[in-house]
Amino acid sequence: MTDAFDADAIVVGSGFGGAVAAARLAQAGFSVIVVERGRRWAPGEFPRRPRLEDGWLWDVGRGLYDIRWLGRMGSVHGAGWGGGSLVYANVFARPSEEALDERWPAHLRRAELDPYYDLAAHMMGVAPVGDDPRTGRPPARTALVERLIHDMAMSEATVRPNLAVTFGDPDTWRPNAHEVPRRGCAFVGECVIGCNHGAKNTLDTTYLAVAERCGARAVTDAEVRRIEPRRGGYAVIAATPSDPRAAERVWSAPRVVLAAGSVATTELLLRSRDVHGTLPSLSRHLGEGFSGNGDFLTLAELRDSQQDMTTGPTITTNTVLDVPEGRRPVWFQVQDGTFPPPLHALFDTVLPARAARAWWRRKVRHTTPRHLFTVLAMGRDSANGTLRLDRSGKATLSWRNRWQGHLYRSQLRVGPLLARLLDARLYHPVTWSLLRRTITVHALGGVRSGRDATTGVVDEAGEVHGYPGLFVMDGSVLPAATGVNPSATILAAAERSIETMIRRSGRPGWRAPEWHAVSPTEVPEDAAFAFMSQRHALTKGDGIVFTEHLSTEHRRPRVAMTLTAEIPGLDRFLTDPAHPIPMRGVIEVEGVTSHTEVGGTLSLFPDGDQAAMSYALRFDDPDGRPWHLRGTKTVRSRTPMALLTGLTHLHVEIRPGDAASGDGESCVLAIGFRDLLRLGSSLAGVGFTRARRLRAVLRFATFFATSALRHGTSSSPPQSHTTAGPDTFR
């Protein structure tokens, strides 16, 4: 540091990007000043009393939450030493590569960032939720969601994500890897209102602790208002929120890292360009590409339940969904969440008719605040918002909800499904139900990267085009929605950017000291994405189910089958020449087995085959001996009677698994008139909406009718079908 500057580097903001920058710069030997508008919050100091003056709002006594209304969207931010980590839900998740479209440059994709994700996971001390140490069981919300998804045959779509939480003994303080005392999670469900217990691995206990231990100087209660070039560096000019009459404070350094969050960083740069004129050459793309990360919040209230939905960390499960909407799939994730009782008490105090609402809840609905929980959805919105300045110099957002129509419609459809499956009432926030204003807790974009100022605001390291030494390292550099909680991506991107910045500053080859202790971290969400991707391919075009019953009528020995056919996706089914359908059910073969599970495949109107239908099934007798059933249905002509007879009579051969083909016994199974009616009534579409289910039934019926007529040509059925005697299969 020269006498002309106050430090080698100034970091504006102490959130996910700023904390990383401060720690790494200090470790690399730079003198660092970290400027933060909020105050320090220690365990036990977070607000709990149901009064706004207790420290809840930034606009009321410089409290914990800063809520910004940006026109068509509200944005919620944390205020304090540690930024958003003080009030986020702890989730450390990586986006699926499939969710990153062409807007994502190579340096922000998984192949490049995965090592930095591992480094950040090591620094934050992440792990999935386990059992509550006081009960020995998982939280009630966790068990509820996992049971629900299991019943929907989608268990692999739900995972327990990594959380930046200390688990273990909730009563004993122990130093973490950064020498900061922590104790195990007490499962009180208050993560998003500040952890008074001391289990949450916030940035002030991880990266910022490292920064201060290595000499970084923290300046709180300082809100940066403008940036201006000065003598080969930059001056940072700040006001004092606790004393608006105080004189401005100024610090200068040859390097400045802006990390105040997407809205505040973009706003600061816009003011420096358009109001103060101190950074006039900033790219015209500044403010573009804003995203709310597809956030959509719903409140669920269980009916007639004694379960406490408020225990455990705020978020414990993550479910990946692929919902067809129009002609394309819409990917998003759904997470359970606590609605902390202190927050409920605050709303009860602030909102009118408190006594009436309490009576209604207690006497009519028979619920308590502990029956409430949240459902948070995140997806890929358009990321086409633009931040601009209003007349007062504050950021406002140009945003059209209709651009997000597919995403919002899909997220809204999940509500009725959950309400039915969970036996719950669901409520949308008033901001959406009345005003059609969404709320995001994950504001992203506004300072996208590009080759030069004509294509972006910063380069791949976050250095501002035209202003060497000025960097941006927060969520504003992400070009679009991550589709998952973005904190891990901000951390990883900042790790890569600050490493590049330090190397550019005359320390080639520099690496974070913790690299030697880093090992690959489990990525639970990757398995869920892989499962849903495979499921998407299998179910594309929606599906069909039907059930048929066949028997030997009055002949002996009696053979009867009830089979359920399920086509997962019609697109795959129709393009496969064999048109295979998985079959499962029960079979009874007199003298061999009774009511035994049977399964296999039906090939329906296979291309190039004279048989209209070919069955290949397998079952075991009580001794565990395998048996095979093979059969065909053949249509001899297009006359109605020939079609009906051919499609309702199955010529089969049944033989033990160790017998050669042709050594079994043959018979004919038929579908009776009543069973034919039942078959028709059992035909149903499988899809997320009624329209899609009806469309699937129509597509299948069209295929069936045209294929039946095509197969209705002169073809000889099997020449002989032996009617087995009563002892044939004994």
Confidence check: pLDDT of 20 > 90: yes
Q: With pLDDT > 90 as the criterion, what percentage of the chain qualifies? A: 69
* Angle, vertex CA 167, rays to CA 45 and CA 78, nearest 5: 40
Among 427, 176, 163, smallest CA distance to 314 is for 163
Q: Per-residue pLDDT tens for 201-224?
A: 999 999 999 999 999 999 999 999
CA distance 485 to 426: 23
Confidence of residue 664 (pLDDT cuts 50, 70, 90): confident
Confidence of residue 500 (pLDDT cuts 50, 70, 90): very high
Q: Specify the residue for token string 């919620």.
A: 76
State the DSSP string of 46-81.
Answer: S--SS-GGGTTBTTTTS-SEEEEE-BSEEEEEE-ST
Go through the chain and tell me how many residues it has: 730
Q: Per-residue pLDDT tens for 127-181?
A: 999 999 999 999 999 998 998 888 877 889 999 999 999 999 999 999 999 999 9
pLDDT for the residue numbered 433 = 58
Q: Phi and psi dihedrals of 54, rounded to 5?
A: -80, 0
pLDDT for the residue numbered 726 = 39
What are the sequence ranges of the domains in the chain?
Answer: 9-515+524-532, 540-711
Confidence check: pLDDT of 503 > 90: yes
Phi-psi category of residue 279: left, alpha or beta, with phi > 0 → left and psi -120 to 50 → alpha: beta
Average pLDDT over residues 227-252: 96
Start-to-end C-alpha separation, the chain:
95
Among 443, 480, 481, 449, smallest CA distance to 462 is for 449
Confidence check: pLDDT of 714 > 50: no
Confidence check: pLDDT of 448 > 70: yes
Among 178, 165, 249, smallest CA distance to 212 is for 178
The lowest-confidence range among 117-126, 286-295, 403-412 is 403-412
The lowest-confidence range among 424-438, 539-553, 579-593 is 424-438
| Residues 117/482, Cβ–Cβ less than 8 Å | no
| Residues 674/398, Cβ–Cβ less than 8 Å | no
* CATH number of this structure's domain 9-515+524-532: 3.50.50.60
**pTM for the structure as a whole:** 0.87
pLDDT for the residue numbered 723 = 39
Rank 130-144, 366-380, 685-699 by mean pLDDT and report only the highest.
130-144
